[in-house]
Structure 1
Amino acid sequence: MVSALPSNFLSSPDYVVLNEKCGVILTMPKIKTVRGAAKRFKKTASGGFKRKQSHLRHILTKKTTKRKRHLRHKSMVAKADQVLVVACLPYA
């Protein structure tokens, strides 16, 4: 999708390409924060992102108390996924 655009369009300072694979082009200077990501991820002082563990919403009777207790703690976003989180939270 991005390759179909004229070359001078992509080099213009009025536009920035966030994800060339999906072809997401946003106008500058304001980039919108993905609100769903803002509610799910918090930035830490060291620059990483913490997230809540999954599998703790329903069907809890078959899960042991130890498993549910460990799922209550926050976890860090993997390094491979941090690029996606930063793209969703440009001002974090």
Structure 2
Amino acid sequence: MPKAKVHSGAAKRFKKTAAGYKHKRAFKSHILTKMTTKRKRQLRGTSTLNGSDLPLVKRMLRSN
């Protein structure tokens, strides 16, 4: 039986932690000149994955 492959795009975007999965927030890659400083500051750092997205990410990363 061949090994199950991990979704390479998801593997780059999500990291497993004790609390769940962490990920970078969206809308912080380009065209930031029109965005307010407050908005850009609030998009910094990482956040944990929402519970509704958990089954999809677990399937893509082939983890139980």
TM-score band by shorter chain is 0.7 to 0.9
Following TM superposition, where does structure 1 have runs of at least 4 consecutive aligned residues deviating by more than 4 angstroms?
A: none
Flag structure 1 segments of 5+ consecutive residues without an equivalent. 1-27
Which structure has more RCO (C-alpha within 8 Å, separation ≥ 6)? Answer: 2
Q: Which residue of 1 aligns with 2:4?
A: 31
1:13 matched to which residue of 2? none
Report the RMSD for the aligned CA atoms in angstroms. Answer: 1.6
- Number of positions where the alignment pairs a residue of Structure 1 with one of Structure 2: 64
Structure label with greater radius of gyration: 1
State the TM-score, normalizing by the size of structure 2.
0.86
Is residue 33–residue 91 contact of structure 1 (8 Å, CA) maintained in 2? no
With structure 1 as the length reference, what TM-score do the two structures score? Answer: 0.63
SS of 1:49 mapped into structure 2: strand
